Amino acid sequence: MFSLKNKTAVITGGGSGIGKATALLFARQGAGVHIIDLNESEAEATAKEITNLNGSAVIHKCNVSVQDEVKQVFNAIGAVDILVNSAGISHIGTAENTSEQDFDRLYNVNVKGVYNCMHAALPAMKNKGAGVILNMASVANNMGLPDRFAYSMTKGAVYTMTLSVARDFLSYGIRCNCVSPGRVHTPFVDGFIKKNYPGREKEMFEKLSKTQPIGRMAEPEEIACFILYLCSDEASFVTGCDYPIDGGSIKLNT
């Protein structure tokens, strides 16, 4: 089950975090993986892990917020069976103290970047009459998180874009879903804690972990496993859905 043999998969942000875990898992399941990432060294490290597993990986240094760069990459790849939009950035701030520069920066990567990749992948999927798109949303589209104004805005947009694409391309055999993780233990989280709470890293990690009812953060591999299901043929009846993977944060927090 969940074989991706003979499938071509594009994963943005595949150099780290959830994107990396997804790229490694997809390769183990037989997919030819294309990693799109602005950080070339991280992408190369992921690709090396894949080749060490006798998998297939190609990296593409690309800024997903620049449509011309994205189009060039997808033209070079050719037909795509699976697109996973995992690239994204975060920001701490409210509507009052978020600057226009930061607002635009998050929009360009988290919203326009997702649009650019779907825009580039959809024509070939239409011609083939099949395709799967998986977008990375967040629990932030379902609940109010403190100091996450711009980030929440972008993830709400990802959720609604997912529904729109699922509806518009259903007749072409293209499925589109999104997942909404809670806190996941990624290098970004470690870097955020180190930057903002020097000397208190262990304390803050435990505090952030316990904000989720399950009492811990998710591991990237746990999110990747669910992404694999949604992108596999076993999920052929699933489209237009958002799946929280949040340790009970949305429904169980009081």
Instruction: Please report, in angstroms and rounded to a whole number, the separation of the first and last CA atoms in the chain.
Output: 38
Joined together, the tokens standing for residue 57 give 């990986």
In angstroms, rounded to a whole number, what is the distance separating the alpha carbons of residues 211 and 215?
Answer: 7
Is residue 229 part of the annotated active site? The answer reads: no
Closest CA to 9 of 111, 88, 110, 77: 77
- Which contiguous run of DSSP H or E holds residue 135? strand 131-136
CB distance 19 to 13 below 8 Å:
yes
Between the alpha carbon of residue 67 and those of residues 26, 117, 173, 210, the distances in Å are: 26, 8, 25, 40
From the candidates 151, 172, 197, 229, give the one annotated as an active-site residue: 151
If you search the block for the tokens 């589209």, which residue do you land on? 141
Q: What is the 3-state secondary structure (H, E, C) of 41-90?
A: HHHHHHHHHHHHCCCEEEEEECCCCCHHHHHHHHHHHCCCCEEEECCCCC
Which residues are tagged catalytic? 151
